[in-house]
Amino acid sequence: AKHTICLIEGDGIGHEVIPAARRVLEAMGLDLEFTEAQAGYEHFLETGTSVPDRTLETVMAADATLFGAATSPSHKVPGFFGAIRFMRRKLDLFANVRPARSHPVPGSFEHVDLVLVRENTEGLYVEQERRYGDTAIADAVITRGASQRIGEYALNLARRRRNKLAVVHKANVLPVTQGLFLSTIMEEAKRNYGDVQAYDVIVDACAMHLVRHPQSFDVIVATNLFGDILSDLTAGLTGGLGIAPSGNIGLEHAVFESVHGSAPDIAGQGVSNPTATVLSAAMLLDHLGEAEAARKLETAVDTVLQEGPRTRDLGGSASTAQFTDALIARVK
């Protein structure tokens, strides 16, 4: 096969949305081979590890991976670590890429077409916390190297789009850490990307501008925590969690996944919306150089979202299978 794609269902509705996305991909007539691997909380409960070595090997052997959904308990479970966070670190998936594009569904703004690029390896997510009595401290690590590489990724992406990059920061309050992130990217923009209009936006003002004028944004780059929060906001601008896709992208490997979680409230009922996973599969195809197939898939999704049938989360009554069948009829 031309491309090998590793599929990981994970937890909860991952068992529904991944098989749905696979059926859609298989219907497209591309030269694809699928491999499968296990990861997540259910796998941890069965075996004591959330990401076995075999899974890492299968992911590394594939050209790209599509991941369903992961449960992560909000209480501390001894020996458990989050599958996606583990893979981000192990495979050096430094860019978390989250596009937000208007869709014909209730609650979506019109004419939004932006991509939020979140630094995926450092910042406050180095998970270095400690406590001294009633004082708790968390480290935020910012390096020139990681800022440079996420900056270059975002600048290259802007160059392929509308040539605008918003560099989001809080350097007014944190001039040492946030200042290093900001200056590294602005200097790189000035030095090598004269064709890209790079400008800085303070994170709180960015949140307001995103809600008031989301159409004015093209590419946005941010440190890990700010990017995490703002990307849920941008998902909310264009139809919500059932729709929003993402990619965790490194130089060697890439793992694509919906922004939503394992949805335990509806898991097992066959009513989950596979759109976010299917749009993540479209990002995956783009990543593999199959741009034409990716556009075809995105167009088919919007046609079915517009004409129906819709799943329950979007006000319809279609099952996962009925929605998927309608999508397959459009991509054949």
Residues at the site binding Mg ion, with contacts judged by CB under 5 A: 228
Element (H, E) at 155: helix 144-160
Any bridge partners for residue 318, and if so which?
Answer: 311
Position 272 contacts ligand NAI (CB under 6 A): yes
User: 125 catalytic, yes or no?
Assistant: yes
Is 264 near ligand NAI (CB under 6 A)?
yes
Catalytic option among 11, 41, 63, 125: 125
Concerning whether 199 is annotated as a catalytic residue, the answer is: no
Separation of alpha carbons 287 and 256, rounded Å: 10
Name the residue nearer to Mg ion (CB basis): 21 or 230.
230
231 is a site residue for ligand NAI (CB under 6 A):
no
In whole angstroms, give the CA distance from residue 49 to residue 81: 8
> d(Cα 162, Cα 292) in Å, to the nearest integer?
19
Rounded Cα distance, 203 and 250, in Å: 25
Give min distance, CB of 97 to ligand NAI, in A.
Answer: 14
CA distances for 248 relative to 96, 147, 190, 257, angstroms:
5, 16, 27, 8
Shortest reach from residue 5's CB to Mg ion, in Å: 24
Minimum CB distance to ligand NAI, residue 33 (Å):
26
Task: Reply yes or no on whether 232 is catalytic.
Answer: yes
Q: How far is CA 40 from CA 5, 79, 116, 220, 258, in A?
A: 18, 13, 26, 30, 15
Q: Which residue's CB is nearer to Mg ion, number 24 or number 244?
A: 244
195 flagged as catalytic: no
Q: Is 273 in the site for ligand NAI (CB under 6 A)?
A: yes
Residues with catalytic roles: 125, 170, 204, 228, 232
Q: Which residues bind ligand NAI (CB under 6 A)?
A: 13, 70-72, 84, 241-242, 260-266, 272-273, 276, 313
